[in-house]
Amino acid sequence: MKIVLASGSPRRRELLSLITENFTVCPADADETLREGAPLADEVVRLSRLKAEAAQCEHPDAVCIGSDTMVTIDHLPLGKPKDERDAANMLRRLRGRTHEVLTGLAVLSPDGGAQTLCTRTEVTFRDFSEEELAEYLATGEPLDKAGAYGIQDHGALLIEGICGDYYSVMGLPVAPLGVMLRKLNAAR
């Protein structure tokens, strides 16, 4: 069965390849504006589904996978930073604290079936120094990541611990996705 990943993220591509090598990448064009007042967990699932639906329009005969990841602290979403200053402010807000990473997943099958879920992972940052912050910002990594960090890259140096699914923080809940694809006979 044909599988389409509705994302241009190299991390999601890498993670999906842990389940199957047989997939196509089709970055989704979906409006990612959050609905005011909607629960953030519902929003990551909704956005995941929108992405999968966008891919399914181009690939109606495929199993389409959409995912969305959001960093939240104090019940507020931290998206991708606008610039380095915004990234620094986000990282200072996370420093020495525990925050939540929500990752939505939607798997749509050609017969109209849909499986969705939201994972929640707590990530605790160390109380890192301003010098460490400047070093991390200099890598350029924070600028294209929700919450201004990547757990799998240099951002790992800022993290004290996690409670939950590491792969969800990277952007794709691998084990649940593997189960969903097996149910559709689309993966090993």
How far is residue 180's CA from residue 184's CA, in Å, rounded to a whole number? 7
CB 47 within 8 A of CB 111: no
CB-based contacts of 178: which residues, under 8 Å, 6+ apart? 19, 187
Direct distance between the N- and C-terminal alpha carbons of the chain, in angstroms, rounded to an integer: 11
Catalytic residue, candidates 29, 31, 61, 68? 68
CB 105 within 8 A of CB 66: yes
Is position 68 annotated as part of the catalytic site?
A: yes
Cite the active site residues. Answer: 68
